[in-house]
Amino acid sequence: MPNRREFLRWTALGGLSVVTGPPGAAARSQARPNILWIVVEDMSCDFGYQGQKLVRTPHVDRLAREGAVFSNAYVTAPVCSPSRSAMITGMYQTTIGAHHHRSSRGTVKLHLPASIKLVPEMFNAAGYYTCNTNIQYKRPGKTDYNFVYDDKTLYDGPDWSGRKTDQPFFAQIQLRGGKLRNGAGWYEELKANSERLITADQVTLPPYYPDDPVFREDWAAYLNSVQYTDREVGLILERLRKEKLLENTVIVFLTDHGISQARGKQFLYDEGAKVPFIVWAPGRIPAGTVRDELIAHIDMAATSLHFAGIEIPEYMQSRPLFGPQARPREYVVSARDRCDETVDRIRSVRQGRFKYIRNFYPRRPYLQPCAYKDHKPFMGRCRELHAAGQLNAVQSLHLAETRPEEELYDLKSDPWEIHNLAGCSEHAEKLRQMRAILAHWIIETDDRGRFPEPDAVFDSDMKIYIDRQRKAGRTEYADEVQQNVRLMKQWKAEGR
């Protein structure tokens, strides 16, 4: 991983410094595999192959059975746009300045250094047909990158049907995943094509959520969305089979972050940051492999370049998971920064059995006002139960008005991350080690979150965000965002 000085030197050269990919692979154009990313929104580790007994996910389970499962995969950001900005560059979003959710939508834009190429650009330069779509294959799929890019030239088309004969493709298929809970229509389709549906009474909730009908209904809908996602994966595999593309296609299956729940999306506990990650590459990797080493979701970038025989840029923080260049990570770091109007900065380090979390705004509540999450039905219910004194100590953890500056969890004995060991004398040395790892990572990767976002950037983004809500007729929502913006500014002025 380059340090700050090396990174600046590479970007100043204005070109790609590269290391060699698989010998001779780039020359064998017809032998080069197609590369397909299946990227699912808002979904945690709840597939059948991961031990979730309520769901039926035969197609994803097949990918796991015939491919390589990475059981300790973490996103570098637990929210859509920073996560996607990282995956499409193979860089930490904090290094390239894309760490604030949906930044660059205002008048102040983020431009990447000329030397940093997006993954589709690298594939296109190598002769691949590049595409980004959804399950209907009729329109472009979600990008959500927090920087300026040319959306008219980045992808050749929504899907691979427009490519030349024998031209390999690099494709992304974006699936709605957990966001299906916000819509309608899919549920009836699932009922017509599934043997059974999951009901609220079958759900076992994590211990940090109240055993309440609102939470149960939401989790049942979420688990059914897992089943529906599996059905979509089956349709993708069937199309590839019919087009005789399946055996020469490398598939990477993952989610962009965890479930949108109170302690999930936007936070660095495993519910929000740990994701499914499967590489399916028939004839290229051993089937049925389960690998427990720590990986970052950005590692899909270098891994894909490896399989295609494309040279991997030296500046890229992504690491290939296969081949002679594969290097295991000693730890993984995840980061959460501003999400829409809600200002925050949290960092986590996972090493071995331990997870360390640093809260840089300890005087603020975990659940700061955030219009996006506060409009979820479970959020209102959670606050209501808390105000009525109906939550136990564990269920109340995330509703504290302040938070510890540091959190330390032993994931082997405490997989739910509810017993903070940061204040325990017997774990003082581990705490110091993890603190040092994070401090080193912040400097080594040039974590730009250590510098407060300029008011001009925040104000510009918020103006566009609020204006769009008003234009869409969501006046009450816009007013709520505006009120939250004022509170963020007040807390900043108070030094909170």
Q: Annotated active-site positions, please?
A: 80
What are φ and ψ of residue 213, in 5° steps?
Answer: -55, -35
CA trace torsion 139, 59, 220, 292 (10° rounding): -110
Q: Tell me which H or E stretch contains 285.
A: none
DSSP 322: S
Residues pairing with 170 in the sheet:
35, 130
Residues counted in the chain? 496
CA atoms of 297 and 236, how far apart (whole Å): 22
What are φ and ψ of residue 260, in 5° steps?
Answer: -80, 90
Strand (E) positions, 55-214?
68-74, 129-134, 169-175
What burial class does residue 427 get, using C-beta atoms within 10 Å of its C-beta: 0-12 exposed, 13-18 middle, 19+ buried? middle
Choose among 469, 458, 359: nearest CA to 406. Answer: 359
Q: Residue 370 is encoded by which pair of tokens?
A: 């955030």
CA atoms of 125 and 355, how far apart (whole Å): 40
Contact 178, 260 (CB under 8 A): yes
Cα-Cα end-to-end distance for the chain: 33
DSSP 33: P
CA atoms of 351 and 333, how far apart (whole Å): 9
